Copies of this chain bind each other. A is one copy, B any other.
Amino acid sequence: MSNTEVEDTIKRLSANKYVQAVLIVNKEGQTIKSTLDESLSKKYSDLITKLVEQTIHVIREMDDEENKTNDLSFLRVRTKKHEILVAPDTDYLLIVIQDPEKS
């Protein structure tokens, strides 16, 4: 994604009234863009990056093919307080935190 595309994506998502936060995190777990403050952005980026790594590990372990080609397309964690959506891109994770009533 180009920088403008990233900005546009964040703007479009944030306009949704159910969306509480949008973060873009690189493969090293660093926050590239975020609608949250610095401390929360770091905390969420760290935790969600780690969760995605663990999820991908499980997917690979479950894969019965020798070359383990299976990969994560989308992760959705619904909690009592919010729903966390993670869309992995080649270089980034797009993370959206939204109201759980939405879906």
Question: What is A's interface to B at a CB cutoff of 8 Å?
Answer: 43-44, 47-48, 50-51, 54-55, 58-59, 61-63, 69-81, 100
Bound-state Cα–Cα, A43 to B63, Å: 11
Chain B residues, Cβ within 8 Å of A73: 78-80, 100
Bound-state Cα–Cα, A61 to B61, Å: 26
**Do residues A59 and B75 form an inter-chain contact, with CB atoms below 8 A?**
no
Chain B residues, Cβ within 8 Å of A80: 69-71, 73
Chain B residues, Cβ within 8 Å of A70: 79-81
Bound-state Cα–Cα, A69 to B100, Å: 15
**Do residues B79 and A76 form an inter-chain contact, with CB atoms below 8 A?**
no
Bound-state Cα–Cα, A94 to B50, Å: 24
